[in-house]
A and B are shown apart, each in its own frame.
Chain A
Amino acid sequence: MKEIRIHARAGQGAITTASLLGYAYFLKGMYPYAFPSFGAARMGAPMNAFVRVDSKPVRLRSQIYEPNYLLIVDHTIMRGFNCFSGLKEDGVAIINAKEGAIEVPKIKAKQKVFIVPANEIALKHIGRPLGNTSMLGAFCAATKELSLEDLNAAIKHRFDLKLQEVNIKAAKEGFDYVRSISV
């Protein structure tokens, strides 16, 4: 079983991110359980979305406290909140931030952090700072859990026409970005 925790602000598309990720796993024949946890149900409030995935149906209904992977969609949340809480010893975190905008958090020896300018990538392709699909592209490259093709299939299922096209581009650039910094 793998557990993924997404940190974001309400309105940034974390639920879409979780469902895209869930769908990519689903297409591979896995059993995801993707679910949100809202705070005050206000746009901009910190919130979490989660994906728990296994080769058999997931029954566990609690939130995720010891994730294998972290997606931090808004790095400003890290100021008041330990997003790294419980991250597995060999866990991987992907943070959406401009290069040099944040200090690389202190991590354990086997943990990995990738800082990806997902908003900039999204602005370039989508025209809005919604870095979810580029974050997911980065996730595929960083964790090797899913291939870019798996992700694209989920994007195609979710978006049509122009939105599909630009999101696939954003995902690829996120993927390539991680490839380029992790050689």
Chain B
Amino acid sequence: MKTFSKYWSIFQITLINSLAYPGELVGRSLMIIPFMWIFYQLWKVTFSAAGADVIGGLTLRDTLWYLMLAETIELGRPPIARTMSDNVKDGSIAYILNKPYDFLLYQFSTAMGETIFRAMLNAVFGGLTVWWLVGAPNHPEGILIALPAIFGAWVLHFCINAMIGLSAFVVEDVSAFTWIYQKLAFIFGGMLIPLDFYPKWLQSLAKFLPFSSAIYGPARLFISPTYTFFISVMSLQLTWVLGLCILLVIVYRRGLAQLTVNGG
């Protein structure tokens, strides 16, 4: 319990810190507005050209609300890989390692502290824009059902990004890996196009990968909040979370064995 309260305090401090510059927080979150507007233009024309009200089981309204949550998850998360890689490269990891807390749990607590308000504001601005463009979501209660999956998505993002960040133990620059990961998440996570619109073979592949658990699963759950779908999303997500957490700990321990900090 004492261990948990330590990380809870780190989380709370970062959460409060994230409110220190409200202008910065709001300014960053406004970015979702042009994104949602352009998505609306694209899908309005696409639905109209297809002459269909429903494509892949989704209406235009479903598609826009799906994309709003997908963007919220993506835009809400902090640049964990860059932070961790900077810690490794500039040697500041040495100052974190000698503190009485676990490096990975410390990073996770700070990442979550930075995420909460960012995501909330993105959801507010994105939600208002989509509401204005296509009306209210069909299942507003879906957001509550999707919450555990949204949290799971951030844990997944953290595991993958932390592994990318820790690769700074062996490579000089991790930015290329972060770009590629982000784009893979765009495609296989269904961030710009819902996976339901993909060809069947690609859907099957994408839905199995961790990217879909990190974006598609929670966003789709928001617009289709059924019990069976919830179980299916959560069980796949849990499997990936467990697998990636184990892998992350192994990568971290191996990286630590190679770490050399010069000077101070």
- Our verdict on whether A and B bind, yes or no, reads no
Q: Which residues of B contact A (CB under 8 A)?
A: none
User: Which residues of A are in contact with B by a Cβ distance under 8 Å?
Assistant: none
